[in-house]
Amino acid sequence: MKKIVLADDHAIVRQGVRAVLENLGKDLKIVAELSNGKELVEYARTHQADVYVVDISMPVLNGIEAVERMVKHDPKVKVIILSMYDDRISVEKSLKAGAKGFIVKVSTADEIVDAIEEVSADRFYLCNKVSKYIVQGFLGKTGSRRRDASGLTPKEKEVLQLIAEGYSSKQIAKNFNLSLNTIHVHRNNIMKKLGIHKQAELVRYAIKEGIAQL
């Protein structure tokens, strides 16, 4: 049996994917359902699964950042990104992060099953809606430079995501078990590195760069 983990903050999406896999998938077993990127990273560090199906837009830690951390911990981890979006930037960022598959939420049931079968065999899979984007074309182009251009640290990206999602500094401090002053330092460093001085502009930047998706 192939062990599958579903990570999506919408229970109805997880239920839909589970139903598809239970009805059509052969030898597939859902071993965990998770609702945010932080839970996903923590789970992957202490458990093993054959394939992770991960929503690109999740609270606390988005899917792309989560995949980067999973791959850093285990370069052989196999992840399929599940997204509402089929734009080139989302696909590129997902593959650069280390995902081996990308499917949109309007993909057919067969595509979801096919994606799991292909990725579990250590092959890439792009659903029909994004197959026009050639995988090899992404691996040496500008996506990585664009993602790293700000010079933000992983922790600063996490803080930026929560800022964009509307969390207060007190809530962010509680989430990371840090002092309020430390969060203010992170916020100031983020603004300085980006040359941004208003929260609304920070939110727009985070959405544009795929750090947060509202």
Written as one string, the DSSP assignment of 123-145 is --EE-GGGTTS-HHHHTTSTHHH
Do the domains 2-142 and 150-208 sit in the same CATH topology, yes or no?
no
166 forms beta bridges with none
Confidence of residue 142 (pLDDT cuts 50, 70, 90): very low
Q: Return the SS3 of 6.
A: strand
On average, the pLDDT of the chain sits at: 86
Q: What would the CATH number be for the domain defined by 150-208?
A: 1.10.10.10
pLDDT at 214: 55
Residues 6+ apart with CB under 8 A from 2: 27, 28, 29, 50, 51, 116, 120
Q: What would the CATH number be for the domain defined by 2-142?
A: 3.40.50.2300
Closest CA to 42 of 7, 14, 13: 7
Residue percentage of the chain with pLDDT more than 70: 90
Q: Return the SS3 of 51.
A: strand
Q: Round to whole Å and give the CA distance between 115 and 94.
A: 15
Q: What strands, in cross-sheet order, belong to the sheet with 28-34?
A: 28-34, 2-7, 51-55, 79-83, 101-104, 125-126
Give pLDDT tens digits for 81-117: 999 887 778 888 898 899 999 999 888 888 899 999 9
Where are the domains positioned within the chain? 2-142, 150-208
Q: Round to whole Å and give the CA distance between 107 and 72.
A: 29
pLDDT top residue among 17 and 199: 17
Do residues 54 and 81 lie in contact, with contact meaning Cβ atoms separated by under 8 Å?
yes
Give pLDDT tens digits for 67-91: 999 999 999 999 999 998 877 788 8
Do residues 85 and 107 lie in contact, with contact meaning Cβ atoms separated by under 8 Å?
no
